[in-house]
Amino acid sequence: MSVSLWDELLYNYQKRLVEHYKNPCVEYSLIIHNHGDRAGASIAHPHSQIMASAIIPSAIERELENSQKYFKRNDRCVFCDLVNDELKTKERLIFENEHFLATTAYAARFPFEVWVMPKSHQSDFVQMDKDARIQLGQIMGRVFASLDQKLKDPDYNFYIHTAPPRQGDPSAYYHWHIEILPRLTDMGGYELGTADFIDVVSPEKAALFLKN
- Do 41 and 155 form a contact (C-beta atoms < 8 A)? yes
By CB under 8 A, is residue 189 in contact with a second copy? yes
By CB under 8 A, is residue 38 in contact with a second copy? yes
Give least dist CB 130 to a second copy, A: 26
Residues 156-185 within binding reach of a second copy (CB under 8 A): 157-159, 161, 179, 181, 185
Closer residue to a second copy (CB): 44 or 192: 192
Rounded to 5 degrees, φ, ψ at 82 are: -60, -45
Cα 181 to Cα 21: distance, rounded to the nearest angstrom: 26
What mask, x for binding a second copy by CB under 8 A, covers residues 69 to 108? Answer: ----------------------------------------
Residues 41-70 within binding reach of a second copy (CB under 8 A): 41-42, 49, 51, 57-60, 62
Cα 66 to Cα 173: distance, rounded to the nearest angstrom: 10
Chain positions contacting a second copy, by CB under 8 A: 30, 32-34, 37-42, 49, 51, 57-60, 62, 157-159, 161, 179, 181, 185-196
